[in-house]
Amino acid sequence: MPAALVLLAALLPALLPTARAASIAAPSVIASPDGGAATPDPSAIYYNPAAIGATEGFHLLLDGQLAMINVSATATRNGGTDPNTGAPYDTLNANVAVPVAFFGATWTAIPKRLTFGLGVDDPFVGGGKYLNADGTPDLSASGRYHGISVTILTLAITPAVSVTPIDGLHIGAGGSYVVDHIEALQAADPLGTEGIAPDELGTTPPAHPYGYDVLLDAKANGHHFAWNAGIFFDKFKLAQVGISYSSGGTFHAAGDASVTIPAALSTSAQAATIPGKADFTLPLAPVARLYVASQLSDNVRVGLGWDEELWNVCCGTADGDVHIVVTNNSGAAIGKADGSTLDIAKDQYNPSRLWNAATFSGNVGVQAMTPLWLGARVGYNENAVPDYSVNPVNLDFNNVGVSLAGRYKLGKALTLGLSYSHYFLQTRTITHSAWNLQDGNKRFSPSFPYTTSGNGVYSGSVNAVGLRVAADF
């Protein structure tokens, strides 16, 4: 009987006003609510590389943010009762502090005509860490089959260029080399033992609930490439327009893994940990952006933005499922020769199919006095995860975010900024998760484990603080 070790590469919510859906990535919002595709500073390397063409001289920018995220998941599957113990499922809790950072530098090579830039940021950060109070992984039955602990990190290095063919019109593009990293711990119920009486199973029952579960523990690294391009029109102060497009690329990482087999499923009748390899492929969405800014006076600037995360382009069908290849060290499927009585299929899939999600935002910035700038931003972000795809680590929320920030200029070159953001997440109640369906489509509704429904009540809260350091020469 093949075991279905379905590793769920976790995706945290889209929480920041310009974040990619199911990720946290928001340079320039950090300590600067006026950031967007029509903002001429080094953060434009991320938003719209054309806009760096409106800068003059040499500029450095460092934005850093720490987002404190809490997510809770209360299972409603099986009526909220663990079929093995008869007790209510524990509420899953994830508390994480996620750092997001952006460093950018721009240099005008030919005044008013040619500008180069270099940006470094973490464009896609994901994960679901459900831990006990002592920091150990939470093996609670209501979430164990969705991903016990998953961390996804990326680091992008992006050179960019902007050309100004005529005054007021800038055209730019950038190319990114992105380093990919993932760590994941996942459980699977290969025999479908959950809630099944021993006589029904036809085999010796496990010594304790979930005693037949198999664990996959993996750590992998890799890289991929991406690009972005756009135009920026700033001839008129009252109507400055930026339009850009960022390719999604494909997250890819490969590395060491281990599969832990319980004694009942081991050829030696003893628990065994089988070393192996794991390869992860995760499509990422392209993003289209439109931003309109208006300099109402010398001291007041306002802006409106629209970002569309095009998850349907990469991830609305089976092609969007996270693909995990699990093998032994020889590159073959794990089986009896490795000590497992079960043959574990090499190809595993995480059905994390997503839909397009838009972010709408508005901001205002006021030069309160010569050295002091104050700004605010309000944004509404649609969630990218349909109800049928929701589970504790494939999760997103509709949310409204509010950001407040201040910047103070010290002398002629140095600027310091601070910000605070709060996000109001809409609680989600899921009653028709596709994880509970046995429709014959093994890539979307795995035959094993049998009862991995994501039905439940999901809520969360997010607070973020940011720091900006900028220098203009």
Q: With bands split at pLDDT 50, 70 and 90, how would you rate the model's confidence at 20?
A: very low
CA-CA distances (angstroms) from residue 88 to 77, 145, 267?
A: 11, 17, 34
27 domain-assigned: no
Inside any domain, residue 17: no
CA–CA dist 355, 180 (Å, integer)? 23
CA dihedral 386, 392, 395, 397 (to 10 degrees): 100
Q: What is the pLDDT of residues 414-451, one digit of tens each?
A: 999 999 988 888 999 988 776 544 444 444 444 433 44
Confidence category of residue 132, pLDDT binned at 50, 70, 90 = confident
**pLDDT tens string 245-280:** 999 899 999 999 999 988 878 888 888 999 999 999
23 domain-assigned:
no
**Contact between 389 and 430 (Cβ < 8 Å):** no
* Number of neighbouring beta carbons within 10 Å of residue 135: 7
Please state the domain count of the chain.
1
Band of pLDDT at residue 141, cut at 50, 70 and 90? low
Q: How confident is the model at residue 3 (pLDDT cuts 50, 70, 90)?
A: very low
Q: Is 30 a residue whose pLDDT tops 80?
A: no
pLDDT reported for residue 6: 29
How many Å separate Cα 237 from the centre of its chain? Answer: 36
The domain containing residue 237 runs over which residues?
44-472
Q: Which residue has the higher pLDDT, 210 or 389?
A: 389
pLDDT at 344: 83
Residues 177-187 have pLDDT tens digits of: 999 999 988 88
Residue 219 reports pLDDT greater than 80: yes
Q: Is the pLDDT of residue 23 over 90?
A: no
The pLDDT value recorded for residue 101 is 86
Residue 163 within a domain: yes
Residue 450: its pLDDT value, please? Answer: 41
Q: What CATH number should be reported for the domain holding residue 378? A: 2.40.160.60
Q: Between these two residues, 12 and 39, which has the higher pLDDT value?
A: 39
Q: For a pLDDT cut of 90, what percent of the chain falls above it?
A: 42
User: Residue 440: what pLDDT?
Assistant: 47
pLDDT tens track for 311-369: 888 888 777 778 889 999 999 999 899 998 888 888 877 767 788 989 899 999 999 88
pLDDT at res. 27:
42
Residue 30 lies in a domain: no
374 or 341: which leads in pLDDT: 374
The reply to whether 176 falls in a domain is yes
Whether 31 maps to a domain, the answer reads no
Q: Which residue has the higher pLDDT, 11 or 297?
A: 297
Does residue 200 register a pLDDT over 50?
A: no
Domain membership of residue 28 (yes or no) is no
Q: What is the pLDDT of residues 103-115, one digit of tens each?
A: 999 999 999 999 9
Average pLDDT, integer, range 201-229: 79
Q: What is the DSSP string of 308-374?
A: EE-HHHHHSSGGGSEEEEEEETTSSPB-GGGTBSSPBPSEEEE------EEEEEEEEEEEEETTEEE
Residue 4 has pLDDT above 50, yes or no: no
